[in-house]
Amino acid sequence: MHCIFRSIVAVFAIGIALTGCASGPAAIDARSSDNAAHIAPQDAKIAPYHARFGRPQALVAVVGDNRSTELTDYVVPYGILAQSGVAQVLAVSTNTGPIKTTTDMGLPSFQIQPDATIAQFDARFPDGADYVVVPATRGDAALFGWIAQQAAKGATIVSICNGSQIVAKSAAMDGHMATGHWSTEADRMSGQPEVHWVRNARYVADRNWISSAGVSASIPVSIALVEAIAGHQHAADLARDLAIDDWSARHDSDAFHPHFGSNLRALATTVYTNGWFHKIESIGVPVAAGVNEVALALTVDAYSSTGRSQAFIVADSKAPLRTQHGLLLFPESTPGEAHRFDRVLPPIDDTPSTAALDKALADIALSYGRGTAFGVALLLEYPGFRQ
């Protein structure tokens, strides 16, 4: 199960909370001082990068399934790593043609034209990547096999959100610590028991296997990767530009699970009742060549996770355009089709890219209520917004 079905998992989680049931063994708690002889996951550092094959820079492949790949999981690591300038970052897909992205609540979003297929990447870089970033995708046998092959060639595998389940299904993560989105904890524990699943960590580093928690954890783990490649000062400078104060692995995933009196109502509102009692609004997000891809992905994903709205990107034409750091994407609408939107947002501005999520949540709170905004933050596993 992966991020595009997270709404279904959240519904199931709410049912568990209501009935008081529990199932399966507990995951490793990153906050515990007794972690079965493992290094405390919240304190573990990503291993420093060591150049291979005479490469002038680290080589990063961000890989997606053409049929369905979670939008933010793919775009945020690509954008942050490309912005850092410390690596050659390529957008890769399982097959030819564009990647169909999907938002956190399973709604279709804009398409991305990759730089190469996995076959083309292999032909160009037979020694393999230094890092392979795996977002939540539909997943297929070709992707599972390619991840395993890259791991065998010495690549560090970096899963984003429930991309950890894709990596786990490749068997490349067996015997290692990993994490994923809070809502799939029970599913991961039962479905991939060969992995040592961790809770309460923003990301987990276990030698050449790195994994992050829910959607917004793609931000700190990407900065941590930059730190591993180019050092602390470079990461700190990047974090400042992104408006991030802390990119450590410290995290409280337990706080996102449904609980009476704290967040259950917000989750139920976002996942259930908003869709039952309200019309889904169409929201246009204006874009142009050079748009910051991280801010764009976070904005689109947030508005499309409310249960009240779906966001579409609008450009002067439907011709593909390049983002600020080189991603090629396809707009979904033009100003001439403005009649299809209930509302058009202001263009993405020069607000620090990750602050775009705070900006979107603040507007969602004004438009649909703080409960809905809090529910979106819970689904995105974002600790920066409270009801």
pLDDT tens digits, residue range 73-109? 999 999 999 999 999 999 999 999 999 999 999 999 9
Domain membership of residue 366 (yes or no) is: yes
Residue 2 has pLDDT above 50, yes or no: no
Determine the average pLDDT of the residues in 360-387: 95
pLDDT score, position 339: 80
Tell me, yes or no, whether 247 lies in a domain.
Answer: yes
Kindly report the number of other CB atoms within 10 A of residue 386's CB atom. 11
Does the pLDDT at position 7 exceed 60?
A: no
* Claim to verify: residue 247 and residue 290 sit in the same structural domain: no
Q: Check whether residue 321 and residue 242 sit in a common domain.
A: no
C-alpha to C-alpha distance for 179 and 94, rounded to whole angstroms: 24
Q: What is the per-residue pLDDT for 33? A: 59
Q: Taking residues 35-51, report their average pLDDT.
A: 71
Q: What percent of the chain has pLDDT over 70?
A: 90
CB 334 within 8 A of CB 315: yes
| pLDDT on residue 43 | 62
| Mean pLDDT (whole number) for 127-148 | 95
At residue 127, does pLDDT exceed 50?
Answer: yes
Res 27: pLDDT: 86
Give Cβ neighbours of residue 114 (< 8 Å, ≥ 6 apart): 64, 90, 91, 92, 93, 98, 99
Q: Identify the H or E element spanning 314.
A: strand 309-314
Distance CA 325, CA 83 (A): 6
Domain-located, residue 221: yes
Which residue, of 206, 226, 253, is where some domain finishes? 253
Letter for the amino acid at 41? P
Task: List C-alpha distances in Å: 240 to 21, 66, 115, 280.
Answer: 43, 33, 29, 36
Host domain of residue 104: 41-253
The CATH number of the domain where 88 resides is what? 3.40.50.880
Confidence at residue 37, expressed as pLDDT on a 0 to 100 scale: 44
How many domains does one find in the chain?
A: 2
pLDDT in tens, 322-362: 999 999 999 999 988 878 899 999 999 988 999 999 999 99
- Sort 299 into a burial class: Cβ within 10 Å, 0-12 / 13-18 / 19+: buried
Please tell me whether residues 336 and 206 are part of one structural domain: no
Which tens digits make up the pLDDT trace of 45-72? 899 999 999 999 999 999 999 999 999 9
Is the pLDDT confidence value at 320 over 60? yes
Give the closest residue to 200 by CA, choosing from 136, 256, 157.
Answer: 256
